[in-house]
Amino acid sequence: MIRTMKKAQGVGIAAPQVGLGKRIFIVAPAPSVRYPRAPKIPPLAMVNPRLLKHSSAIENGWEGCLSIPGIRGIVPRWRSIEIGFIRRDGRKCRARLKGFIARIFQHEFDHINGKVFLDRVKDTRTLVTEQGYRKRVHR
C-alpha cells in the first residue's frame, strides 16, 4: 500500500483502494508535487480506526484522490477530531488530530466506509482538473 501511495504522490491510502476488504489505512503525508506544503510524517498504519469525537467547526479544503485521478474539489471536513486505532504491532492508540492531518484521516476513513471525496463535495462547480488546481492554488 505504501509503495502504491508514494508512486502516486499521495498522502494516505486505504485498503479498499488496492482491492483489500480490510479496515486499514495509512496516513503518510510528505511534500510532493501534489502536496508541496504537506508536513513529513512517517507512514502510520491504522487498523480498525474509529472516529470518537469531532469539533463543531468545519473547514473547507481541497481534496483529490488516488482512486479518482486528475480531479480536485472543495470538501468540508471537521477541523479537529479525536480518533482511536490499533497500530500494526497491536497497540491501541488514541490521538487528537487537526488541520491537514485530520483531513487525511477523514478522507481515508471515508474509503473504508464506502465513500469517496466526491460524495462529500457540496458544490460541483469547485471541481477542477489537477492541472487547473495547481495553477489556482500553487502559484
- Which one of 59, 63, 82, 108 is the catalytic residue? 108
Answer for the pair 75, 57: CB distance below 8 angstroms, yes or no: no
List b or e across 24-42, with b for residues whose CB sees 16 or more CB atoms inside 10 angstroms.
bbbbbbbeeebbeebeeee
Phi, psi of 128 (to 5 degrees): -140, 160
Q: How many residues does the chain have?
A: 139
108 is catalytic: yes
3-state secondary structure of 110: helix
Q: Beta strands 128-129 and 68-78: pairing type?
A: antiparallel
Residues marked as catalytic: 108
